[in-house]
Structures are given as structure tokens and as C-alpha cells.
Amino acid sequence: MQGAILVLSGPSGAGKSTIINHASDEIGEYYFSISTTTRKPREGERDGVEYYFVTHEEFEEGIKAGEFLEYATVHGNYYGTSLKPVKEALEEGKLVIFDIDVQGHRLVRAKMGDYVTSAFITPPTLSELKRRLYARATDDSSIIERRIANAKEEIKAVVEFDFVIINDDIEKASKEFATIANAARLKQSHQELENFVKIWDN
């Protein structure tokens, strides 16, 4: 199996993590890219599991050293993807899964376009997203309203993605995700295709 990159984007509350966990047995060996952030850990979050938590100073040193594949500022905090573990996972033939925002998708696509497959995951409607965000009760109403405002902007970028998964039924959404993940492994880079044409023409 060759390494590949699958970028997932979509509003907070769309069910991205649930879908990945649900489909994990069907997509082969993968590396879930953990973002680095300067925001404070929420209750129950652990460094190196949900995120790598660093200070603003540490993050900015990483930017200067070119250690990030992509990074962005969200709600006053840095979020970024460290290059080293991504490269290692690709060399090991793993599918690298990113859960990043629309801005991050653009940056990854610009840098590693040949290897990137992308999917936007969303609930069927904005009202359903609101219901899910309030039902999970992990954030106060001001943060939830900010997430809803972000979602209204993010949905405008849906045409930039290779696939859209409407998460209305977890079984169906997980099957669609598994199909996309396995197809991502089959995607060939332009260089690989050019090499194939040279061999084929002999």
C-alpha cells in the first residue's frame, strides 16, 4: 500500500471523529495527524492525544523553523500541522488523515496537491448542526454561536473538495468515508503517471 493524504474538513459537530472511528477497520493502517495548538486544553484532553499543546512562543519558533505543513489562526489561537510525523507516516505507506479547516485544506492542497484527496463532512442542515452543538454541551453558548457563524462561511467552500459526505446516518456516512479513504490510496501523482506512460510505451 502506498502512502496518501486524506483531508477532512467541515463544521465542528459534523461527526468527523465518529465517522473515522466507525470506519477504522475498513480503511487499513492510517495515521491521524494531530494538530499543534496554542489554545488551552479542555477538560479531559491530553497532550499528544487530542492535540499537541504549546505556547505562542513555541509555535512561532516552529513557524520560523519551517516545521509546519500548514497553520492558521482561529479565535486568537494558532493551529498547525507538524511536517515530521506526516512524512514518516507517508514513507511507511500509511494513509494520513487530516481534520483541518477550509483554510488548512487550501494550504495542504497547494503544497502536496498530487497526494491529496479531500472530503467535506457536514450535517444535512444548519439547524441540525445547531441541535448537535447544543446537545453535546461541551461549550458555552457564545462559543457555539461562533462555531455556527464559522460553519456558515465554511459551507461556501464545499465546491473546493473532491467529495461531500452528508452525515445524516452514521452507517451510510461511514461507508462513504471508507470508500473515499481507500480510493485515496489508489490516487497516483503526476510523476508516477508520467513514469507509467514511459514504461507503457516500450
- pLDDT top residue among 167 and 143: 167
What is the per-residue pLDDT for 125? 94
What is the per-residue pLDDT for 86? 87
What is the per-residue pLDDT for 175? 96
* Residue given cell 453535546 in the structure block: 136
d(CA 202, CA 200): 6
Helix (H, G, I), strand (E, B) or coil at 101: coil
What is the per-residue pLDDT for 126? 93
Q: What is the pLDDT of residues 78-103, one digit of tens each?
A: 999 888 888 888 888 889 999 888 98
Give me the domains of the chain, ranges plus CATH numbers: 4-188 (3.40.50.300)
What is the per-residue pLDDT for 197? 78
Is pLDDT above 60 for 1? Answer: no
Average pLDDT over residues 18-26: 92
* Beta strands in 10-128, from DSSP E residues, in sequence order: 30-32, 36-37, 52-53, 68-74, 77-82, 95-99, 116-122
What is the per-residue pLDDT for 87? 86
Q: What is the pLDDT of residues 38-65, one digit of tens each?
A: 999 988 889 988 889 999 999 999 999 9
- Is the overall model pTM greater than 0.75, yes or no? yes
Average pLDDT over residues 169-180: 96
Is pLDDT above 70 for 146? Answer: yes
Average pLDDT over residues 152-167: 95
Q: Residue 152: pLDDT band by 50, 70, 90 thresholds?
A: very high
Is pLDDT above 90 for 172? Answer: yes
Q: Which of 133, 156, 106 is nearest to 14 (CA)?
A: 133
Query: How many Cα atoms sit within 13 Å of 68 on the Cβ side?
Result: 21
Please state, rounded to an integer, the average pLDDT across all residues of the chain: 89
